[in-house]
Chains A and B, each alone.
Chain A
Amino acid sequence: MAYQIRTTSCTGCSACESECPNDAIFEKSFEFFIDPTKCTECIGFFEEPQCVAICPLPKTILINPDVPRFQVAV
């Protein structure tokens, strides 16, 4: 239920960090990560995931295949 940042292509520009509505993005030793327990894929907030929208590099923030897609609570 989350996006994840490919650290190999991330430039560490930090642009995504402040745009996340869930404060799910954090920095550790100059690398950025998304906390999968906080990420909602921006569902319920915005039409598109904000981190993906502002990331300067293509294919750097992708759906994390290891966790299930986010489900809106009914």
Chain B
Amino acid sequence: MDLGNQKEPTLLRVMQPVADQSGTSSCNSKGGSGKSGCGSAAGQGDLSPEVWEKVKNHPCYSEEAHHHFARMHVAVAPACNIQCNYCNRKYDCSNESRPGVVSERLSPEQAAKKVLAVASTIPQMTVLGIAGPGDPLANPEKTFKTFELVTATAPDIKLCLSTNGLMLPDYVDAIHALNVDHVTITINMIDPEIGAKIYPWIYFRKRKYTGVEASRILSERQLLGLEMLTARGILCKVNSVMIPGVNDQHLVEVNKAVKARGAFLHNIMPLISAPEHGTVFGLAGQPGPTAQQLKHLQDSCEGEMNMMRHCRQCRADAVGLLGEDRSNEFTTEKVMEMDMHYDLEIRQAYQQEVERQRQAVVSARNAELQTLAGERSDISILIAVATKGNGRINEHFGHAKEFQVYEVSTAGAKFVGHRRVDNYCQDGFGEVESLETVIRAINDCTAVFMSRIGNCPREGLLKADIEPVDRFALEYIEQSAITYYREYLERLRRGEIIHKQRGDAAIRQGALIG
């Protein structure tokens, strides 16, 4: 991780190993390179100052924070009490990056040690989440024991958990007592008839329920749990899986229902369903949404509440920055042998430096926004950006494993999502097939920003009518996007270009390589 104008020597020394490992990615680097992060986008948005203060350093809640701060999940909760048609409990593949997948299970004691090891190695690790691979509240003893142990040794780490909500009302007091201030509930429906198509069964109070009755109980418990948490001032995010033809339209209703009960953020994620995942949906050929279908649904809920668009749907044992999994460095075997130096001072110094950088990005964006003051246009365009983080255009096109997508209009630049790809440049050579995958993933974008690009992919992009732009190399993303947009309008006025409606783009489904 590049810290830009880093001056503080001790901090620099500590950060160096992180920078080396987080990978500035050469063509043949395998694994864990820092493609994550979405640039500093909307930031505070509509959040109240109190909520913003709580979430601004939380990578999973603030899209602006997540290239600065890392999180880790510990897989202490293997049991689950419901079955979802998008989940296959048998699947465990280290190449697969999606919820519910883990390679190793931990006891609470092992988990606490792992947290300390990671926090000692990665000063930007601020958040510990328990998200499975089952449901944390179907494993209450293990979950709460882990939180207790971590709080005792690393009190500055924020605790959060992600649950299906079935047992939530029973544990709200325990969650409150342990100072867990962030909870995510996965709510895919508020109509049990729709729920019956998503959940074949639940296990509740020593009974198995199926069909509509199962979803009725689940929905009641989820909404009750949400109300109880927000009444106690615990921040709640709601996750929803968008399943076209099943709950896509219905999620607008879900959005209203969870907003009314105090959820502060709604994260609508695309269904991941390849047949090889062996899920009911995958085997039945149920498709996930396209990038534009997902964006339209997120946009239509936007006026209601804050929408989260940077979720990487990560594994239940992920470690590191979002999209940059470092869990292989922290296997139980390695953790048990590690020396640990938990240095609160370094961690705080890092957080101050991030705050300084954050302010710099905001100032640059606001200054550039002033130049759009006189513009009147209904045109909005999407721009894909190759970035390693820090809000800058600092990734080579061929090394990018994902692109951040910004929507630019006279209102400014807004982060609206990310698109995963197979990086074009494999082992030093560009692959024609990979370029086609990249184009499919960003086909709805007018331009793509990168620090550098080779001639071959440049021509391929131009052929696909996507303008490759490398003249903003290393500049701030939002500032550059606004500049590009202003010049785009000027070029239109001069008749040099014609504004075209772009097509749709594909959401990547398969396992990521490296």
In this complex, the member of A9, A11, A13 whose beta carbon has the largest number of chain B beta carbons within 10 angstroms is A13
A56 and B83 in contact (CB under 8 A), knowing A11-B89, A13-B89?
A: yes
- Determine how close the nearest CB of chain B comes to the CB of A34; give it in whole angstroms: 16
Chain A binding surface, main DSSP class = loop
> How far apart sit A21 and B138, CA to CA, in the bound complex (Å)?
16
**Does the CB pair A14–B203 fall under 8 Å?**
no
**B78 proximal to A (CB < 8 A):** yes
Contact with B along A46-74 (1 / 0, CB 8 A): 11101001101100000000000000000
**A22 proximal to B (CB < 8 A):** no
**A15 proximal to B (CB < 8 A):** yes
Contact with B along A1-38 (1 / 0, CB 8 A): 00000000101111101110000000000000000000
> How far apart sit A54 and B365, CA to CA, in the bound complex (Å)?
52
- Determine how close the nearest CB of chain B comes to the CB of A45; give it in whole angstroms: 9
**B81 proximal to A (CB < 8 A):** yes
Query: Hey, which chain A residues are within 8 Å of B78, CB to CB?
Result: 11-15
**Does the CB pair A48–B208 fall under 8 Å?**
yes
Query: Hey, which chain B residues are within 8 Å of A48, CB to CB?
Result: 207-208
**B283 proximal to A (CB < 8 A):** no
**Does the CB pair A57–B208 fall under 8 Å?**
no
**Does the CB pair A15–B208 fall under 8 Å?**
no
> How far apart sit A18 and B80, CA to CA, in the bound complex (Å)?
12
**Does the CB pair B81–A15 fall under 8 Å?**
yes
**B134 proximal to A (CB < 8 A):** yes
Which of the four size classes fits the interface of chain A?
10 to 19
Query: Hey, which chain A residues are within 8 Å of B206, CB to CB?
Result: 19, 46, 50, 53
**Does the CB pair B81–A53 fall under 8 Å?**
no
Chain B binding surface, main DSSP class = loop
**Does the CB pair A15–B207 fall under 8 Å?**
no
Q: Which residue of A lies closest to B92 (CB)?
A: A11
Query: Hey, which chain A residues are within 8 Å of B79, CB to CB?
Result: 13-15, 17-18, 54
> How far apart sit A2 and B80, CA to CA, in the bound complex (Å)?
23
Q: Which residue of B lies closest to A47 (CB)?
A: B207
Query: Hey, which chain B residues are within 8 Å of A14, CB to CB?
Result: 78-79, 139
Query: Hey, which chain B residues are within 8 Å of A13, CB to CB?
Result: 78-80, 89, 133-134
**Does the CB pair B81–A54 fall under 8 Å?**
yes
User: Among A47, A50, A53, A56, which residue has its beta carbon within 8 angstroms of that of B89?
Assistant: A56
> How far apart sit A56 and B291, CA to CA, in the bound complex (Å)?
31
**B90 proximal to A (CB < 8 A):** yes
- Determine how close the nearest CB of chain A comes to the CB of B132; give it in whole angstroms: 10
- Determine how close the nearest CB of chain A comes to the CB of B140; give it in whole angstroms: 10
Between A and B, 26 residue pairs with Cβ closer than 8 Å are A11-B90, A11-B92, A12-B78, A12-B105, A13-B78, A13-B79, A13-B134, A14-B139, A15-B78, A15-B79, A15-B80, A15-B81, A15-B134, A15-B138, A15-B203, A17-B79, A19-B203, A46-B206, A47-B207, A48-B207, A50-B206, A53-B206, A54-B79, A54-B203, A56-B83, A57-B90
- A binding-site residues for B, Cβ under 8 Å: 9, 11-15, 17-19, 46-48, 50, 53-54, 56-57
